[in-house]
Structure 1
Amino acid sequence: MSSQKLSLPALTAMVVGSMVGAGIFSLPRTFGAASGPVGVLITWVIAGGGMYMLARVFQALAERKPDLDAGVFAYAKAGFGDYPGFLSAFGYWIGSCIGNVSYWVLIKATLGAFFPVFGDGNTVTAIIVASIGIWLFHFMILRGVKNAALVNTIVTVAKIVPILVFIVVLAFSIRAGMFRENFWGGVGMPQTSLFEQVRATMLVTVFVFLGIEGASVYSRYAKKRSDVGAATIIGFIGVTALMVLVTMLPFAVLPRAEIADMRQPSMAALLEAVVGPWGAVFVSVGLVVSVLGAYLAWSLIAAEVLFVAAKNQDMPKVFATENKNQVPAAALWMTNAVVQLFVISTYWSSDAFALMLSLTSAMSLIPYMLVAAYGLKLARGRLTYETRPQERNRDLIFAGIATLYTIFMILAGGLKFLLLSAVLYAPGTLLYLWARRERGRRVFRGLDWALLAIAVIGAVYGLYALASGRITL
């Protein structure tokens, strides 16, 4: 196992590699269509502040609960019981699978700008090529986690370069008058309240912050436990700075209406508008590298969560098996089978990338909320604070704000994605039933029944809303 241990730079690369994926390359148009600079700044203050608090919760838990591996799932189970722990693991895992689908869609949409056969990323050709990519990565990961983590570190460095070039070029192209013109909303854009501008971008920020827990999920491979928390904070600060610059600088270069009308990935279209055709090619190459790197990181994370949940007896035993390279092979097979099914399903979606982005965010918020609530529970009960008790008040504030933030984000996402989440959570419970039955354990107790009822009712209504057209994909 010693050969599998990961250093602080490697763990930091896991965080950055997980966070910098498809989202950052689509931010200029996504934010430009929804808000002007004032709204964007408010959004980043709220989202950045909330996610920073969550990052500090992950850091504190990594230090105070070193025995818990695969943080997101393990913290929920330790704090609230087996079934909530399972729901956290399942939601995080299925959200990771859906996020991986969005990566393939955006890669093919990017190539579609040069090769029309790929369209918007959901043509038959795009689906076939994406399917080949899924299984090429699958067999590479099966050869060993350490090898995959090394590739992720290299790819993380490579993909940051186009983003930095984009930032530098736009910084030297700033027009103060243009920024003033866009400041409160811009010419030719619909008049919306500042509240609506901020609300329209909040769910997107969750997607681009996904991966903040990358080091925590892979904590069992850390050389030093303290590196997990340090990698989380370092990665968060660096990536947040990049995202703020990527969304704010375009308002100082082009009219907001022009930004809002750009093809995705809008970062490529923006650089092309400033420097010419080579800018689109340069960013597009960077995007493909970035998204493939993020796909690798999330494939590792998704399989790891499923594997550890099975090891903790909350998923069927089969997912707790490893191959000779110490890779959770069965979990990886299950993960990529689900990704494959979702990729095929994009053929029938009108805007596959936007749907996958929002649904990934919605599925991830409940696991995040449970992590924050567990941190709050520890701090309120003074648990683990026999050592360094002076940190309790600080951690209580961090966890309290993180809990409120995640609840606010769940509500801000709207009823549609809550119902779609329930459509996935309810049938996913069958895996929990399987796991409990094969170990001869009581399935539900107390509050579990209420959670199950909420999931089932939400799923039934969600399916009805889909069938009746009240919810569209």
Structure 2
Amino acid sequence: MDTDKTATRTMSLPTLAAMVVGSMVGAGVFSLPRNFGQATGGFGALVAWTIAGSGMLMLAFVFQRLAIRRPDLDAGIYAYAKAGFGEYPGFFAAFGFWASTCVGNVTYWVLIKSTLGQVLPIFGEGNTVPAVLLSSVFIWLFHTMVLRGVREAAAINRIVTIAKLVPILCFVVIALFYFDAGVFADNFWGGEAYSESLFEQVRSTMLVTVFVFLGIEGASVYSRYARRREDVGRATVLGFLSVLAVFASVTMVAYGILPRAELAATRQPSMAPVLESVVGPWGAWFISIGLIVSVLGAYLAWTLLAAEVLYVAAQDHDMPKWLARSNAQGVPSAALLLTTLMIQAVLVVTLFSEDAFAFTLQLTSVLSLVPYLLAAAFALKLALGDGKPGTGLAVAGLATLYTAFLVFAAGADNLLLACLVYAPGSILFVLTRREQGRRPFAGTEWVLLAVSVAGAIAGFVALATGTITI
């Protein structure tokens, strides 16, 4: 028996479930009232959560089934894409997931500084020079803390996960107490001034729901640390169902507090002004403090997830070998450094954004779609290979259909912005192939490269001409 390997398998079911909840419950939940208020009314929100909840549940079942069926595949999304479709698509999944987590971490700092901007105007909406400078200090402080050890950081995340759920649940309970059925009825169809079709209303919420559900693969990514393999799937489903109930509740109760137009105009984090409207200023402070705790915990979890994916990909010779370096505590130090540098770079880009939170939220979501789609498609490929209809085929088919719909719902602008990230990332793939003395690309890999480069060029032109703005 490999004692080094068994020594790493220390994460129990509760710890894995906390990783899932900790990864998903971050900045997104505190922004739901405004994001949904801008897009739709109560009925549209119910439809959106039904679609998103059902689709993501199918994806959770996919991760559960893959964890059991292919226990040899560690690091989740990346490993599934590679096993199903080859090295370059696998690289795209690994790089896309990693880039998504990095951009997602930037949303946290933007929202924290936007929160502080309510009392310290120099931070504005989270994208001023002072905001970026202070955020930069903190990302490197977190970098230093994570270097102390993965399991130690995971234990901190478990504690923070419990702490950050308290203000969110309190918001739901208080909002229910002040819930106005008349306001909710007026908001149910979106209000008199809202004339978008139901399809467009729901479509416009899809990237928001993807954003808040990011992290559903948290237990799968950490499968190599699980005490029991079956705990990976159980933690994924348990964590997802818990978080879905919280997200839907936060959204729906807000429609019973303020008119939709007012919800749409609230400052982020929008949960704070909603609570303030019924209990006074202390409500905004209560939510703001909860947000900071929540965001810092989620930042820690996502940083771990990002570094883990790069590290495992490098060990499997799908990323440059220097990314497989680790320190004396077993932390993937090189992967962690690249992760922090990427976060720093995107943080600087927010200085040029009109709405930094919306920009980073949408980019985070669209970058994650390729990894999710490939994982679902791999499960569908396995199910079709069995040659028999059944629950597995239905689950994989629905998950694939849902993730394909998300790609459509993202829109051309966001897809072109994603290409601006994906195309340069292929440099890492070229470096990896050169280390192995192989040709950079072969066969259909050239097609995938051409599509990403063409999209990046189109995205750059669109940004330069003002067709697309960030």
Normalised to the residue count of structure 1, the TM-score between the two structures is: 0.97
Q: Is the 8 A contact 2:8 2:225 kept in 1?
A: no
Which has the higher mean CA deviation after the structures are superposed, 298-307 or 248-257?
248-257
Q: Select 2:457's aligned residue among 455, 460, 464.
A: 460
Letter in 2 for 1:101: V
* Distance across 2 between alignment mates of 1:66 and 1:312: 16
User: 2:84 maps to what in 1?
Assistant: 79
* Distance across 1 between alignment mates of 2:99 and 2:187: 39
TM-superposed CA distance for 1:442, in Å, is 3.3
User: 2:313 maps to what in 1?
Assistant: 309
Aligned ranges for residues 137-156 of structure 1 at < 5 Å? 137-156=142-161
User: 2:396 maps to what in 1?
Assistant: 399
User: 1:362 maps to what in 2?
Assistant: 366
Query: Deviations along 1:83-113, whole A, 9 cap, x unmatched?
Result: 0000111111111111111111011001111
Aligned ranges for residues 115-194 of structure 1 at < 5 Å? 115-187=120-192, 189-194=193-198
User: 1:386 maps to what in 2?
Assistant: none
Matched residue SS, 1:367: helix
TM-superposed CA distance for 1:3, in Å, is 5.8
Q: Is the 8 A contact 1:423 1:463 kept in 2?
A: yes
* Distance across 1 between alignment mates of 2:349 and 2:467: 20
Q: Is the 8 A contact 2:47 2:202 kept in 1?
A: yes
Q: Which runs of 5+ in 2 are unaligned?
A: none
TM-superposed CA distance for 1:441, in Å, is 2.4
Letter in 2 for 1:287: L
User: 1:430 maps to what in 2?
Assistant: 427
TM-superposed CA distance for 1:471, in Å, is 1.1
Aligned ranges for residues 271-290 of structure 1 at < 5 Å? 271-290=275-294
Segments ≥4 residues shifted beyond 6 Å: none
* Distance across 1 between alignment mates of 2:347 and 2:256: 37
* Distance across 2 between alignment mates of 1:427 and 1:33: 34
* Distance across 2 between alignment mates of 1:330 and 1:3: 19
User: 2:202 maps to what in 1?
Assistant: 198
Q: Is the 8 A contact 1:70 1:305 kept in 2?
A: yes
Matched residue SS, 1:360: helix
TM-superposed CA distance for 1:422, in Å, is 1.1
* Distance across 1 between alignment mates of 2:257 and 2:420: 43
Q: Is the 8 A contact 2:9 2:224 kept in 1?
A: no
* Distance across 2 between alignment mates of 1:413 and 1:11: 30
Q: Is the 8 A contact 2:42 2:252 kept in 1?
A: yes
* Distance across 1 between alignment mates of 2:458 and 2:321: 32
The aligned length equals 465
Aligned ranges for residues 221-300 of structure 1 at < 5 Å? 221-300=225-304
Q: Is the 8 A contact 2:377 2:396 kept in 1?
A: yes
User: 2:327 maps to what in 1?
Assistant: 323
Q: Is the 8 A contact 1:4 1:145 kept in 2?
A: no
Letter in 1 for 2:164: K
1:439 aligns to 2:436 (yes or no): yes
Matched residue SS, 2:319: coil
Query: Deviations along 1:187-220, whole A, 9 cap, x unmatched?
Result: 4x33221112111111111000100000000111
Normalised to the residue count of structure 2, the TM-score between the two structures is: 0.97
Alignment root-mean-square deviation, CA: 1.2
Aligned ranges for residues 9-28 of structure 1 at < 5 Å? 9-28=14-33
Matched residue SS, 1:381: helix
1:420 aligns to 2:417 (yes or no): yes
